[in-house]
Structure 1
Amino acid sequence: MTTDRAVRIALVDDHAIVRQGLRSVLDREPDLEVVAEASTAGEAMAVIGRTTPSVVLLDLKLSTGEDSEGLDLCARLTERCPAVGVLVLTTFLDDALVMAAVRHGARGYVVKDVDTTELVRAIRAVARGESAFDSRSAAAMVRSVRVRPEQPTFTEREQKVLELLAHGLSNREIGGRLYISETTVKFHVRNIMRKLDAASRAEAVYEASKMGVI
């Protein structure tokens, strides 16, 4: 049984048995509700448009077996449905693939052998507009760090907001830590993303990490 404020989830994976397994696990959580399933990019765009989920669990390896199809779908979803949070759930862990997913709009990345508790935590984080990475994908991001010659400058307050973003805190939690309103936090986050030329909070954290800012 789900609550009125349940997180609506769409499952995109070309293996029916995987979708069935995920549904059985997620349906046990009272605040999570699987509202759609799809096995291809075309099906995903159609069903997500009809069911308006808040989180899409996306396998990058769809029917063609190519990473690019899942990445392209991720980009299309985030562009057409910006309110939808894409959480990559895949078998493959590759540094370049993790970063490509972030650059294509994914808010998080976890591998399929992650335990149920961690997966549910990641889904809830993405639903709140936060980023979510398991320990291995987070390490992949760190390994991908490269220092860029030109770096933007941040105010002292922006620096503190950026550090709290890196710890996965929500706007409300950041406001509580810094004793500022949630609206003010949103203002600082927008400025940070603009300075880093980032399309998402996760990408902003990644770019800042590359520069050694955090």
Structure 2
Amino acid sequence: MVDGNSAYNLHEIGPSLHADGGYVALIDRRMLERECLAHSLNYHKINRRVLTFSDLRDWQDARDVIGIPSAVLFNTGSYAPGEINGEIERLITAVAPAAVVVLSDNQDLNSILDTIALGVRGYIPSSVNIDICIQAISLAIAGGRFIPASSVLGISELLGLSSHRSAPAAKLTNRQSAIAEALRRGKANKDIASELNLCESTIKVHIRNIMRKLGATNRTEVACRMGGGMFEH
């Protein structure tokens, strides 16, 4: 069942979930943690209904009524290390094509890379604030991928990119700096265009110029060179 304060009536919410672009399924074995996080996501305007479940089977029991979510936020906090990867694999298969985002206390680089390799669309350390969490989920829904800043920097160092990670601000115009900062925060092109009152095609041109100036080949490298980026799209 879907839990929470006076559990949702699935027969009433089912049609609206399909009509308004879906929902976010929050899976966490711990009732207090999942209800607090669901409340926080709603309070900070994630712009999708958040339905909470204790585990994958709990969601599967409601699937015929509520359909496939836009994204699943899976909190691994109550799982033993040996359980996590198998549970993630089952979850990805069950909710496809929905984006799966993992929330975890573990910030070990190898563990993060192993989890990303399973096919999740994001890995959120529990140390981030709720706004970053919402941005990561929104990016995953849009087809992007969220990677923790520490992982981006760690990968950069392994690849020998750290010596030119931070680009002089003078290389970029004010407009380009604003767009580069938006990329670092994981915003999609259409959102950047709306905020800056520009056409999306103009944003794409700016991004190409930013990548050329910073010597970057993708959005992740732009974020990294801007000082510890987290997102890729």
TM-score normalised to structure 2 length: 0.55
Instruction: Give the 3 Å change call, closer, same or farther, for CA 170–30 of structure 1 in structure 2.
Output: closer
Show the 5 A alignment for 1:16-55.
16-28=31-43, 29=45, 31-35=47-51, 37-47=52-62, 51=66, 52-55=68-71
How many residue pairs get matched? 157
In the alignment, which residue of structure 1 is the partner of 2:123?
109
Write the deviation string for residues 66-109 of structure 1: whole angstroms up to 9, x where unpaired. Answer: 23423222222323433211111111111111111111111111
In the alignment, which residue of structure 2 is the partner of 1:119?
133
The one-letter amino acid paired with 1:113 is S
The one-letter amino acid paired with 1:34 is V
Instruction: Please point out which of 70, 86, 101 is paired with 2:100.
Output: 86
Question: 1:31, CA displacement in angstroms?
Answer: 1.2
Question: 1:169, CA displacement in angstroms?
Answer: 7.4
Question: 1:32, CA displacement in angstroms?
Answer: 2.2
The one-letter amino acid paired with 1:131 is R
The one-letter amino acid paired with 1:74 is I
What SS class does the counterpart of residue 23 from structure 2 fall into? strand
In the alignment, which residue of structure 2 is the partner of 1:15?
30
Instruction: Please point out which of 72, 87, 96 is paired with 1:56.
Output: 72
In the alignment, which residue of structure 1 is the partner of 2:170?
none
Instruction: Give the 3 Å change call, closer, same or farther, for CA 40–126 of structure 1 in structure 2.
Output: same
Instruction: Give the 3 Å change call, closer, same or farther, for CA 46–93 of structure 1 in structure 2.
Output: farther
Show the 5 A alignment for 1:122-161.
122-142=136-156
Question: 1:58, CA displacement in angstroms?
Answer: 0.9
Query: Does residue 1:76 correspond to 2:90, yes or no?
Result: yes
Aligned CA-pair RMSD: 3.5
Instruction: Give the 3 Å change call, closer, same or farther, for CA 23–97 of structure 1 in structure 2.
Output: same
Q: Where do 5+ consecutive residues of structure 2 fail to align?
A: 1-15, 161-182, 193-199, 206-219, 221-233
Alignment identity in percent? 19
Question: 1:11, CA displacement in angstroms?
Answer: 1.0
Alpha-carbon separation, structure 2, partners of 1:32 and 1:18: 19
Alpha-carbon separation, structure 1, partners of 2:159 and 2:63: 34
The one-letter amino acid paired with 2:129 is D
Structure 1 runs (4+) greater than 6 angstroms displaced? none
Is the CA contact 2:103–2:124 (under 8 Å) kept in the aligned structure 1? yes
Alpha-carbon separation, structure 2, partners of 1:14 and 1:39: 4
Question: 1:39, CA displacement in angstroms?
Answer: 2.5
What SS class does the counterpart of residue 29 from structure 2 fall into? coil
Alpha-carbon separation, structure 2, partners of 1:39 and 1:144: 38
Is the CA contact 2:56–2:91 (under 8 Å) kept in the aligned structure 1? no
Is the CA contact 1:72–1:104 (under 8 Å) kept in the aligned structure 2? no
Alpha-carbon separation, structure 2, partners of 1:49 and 1:110: 29
TM-score normalised to structure 1 length: 0.59
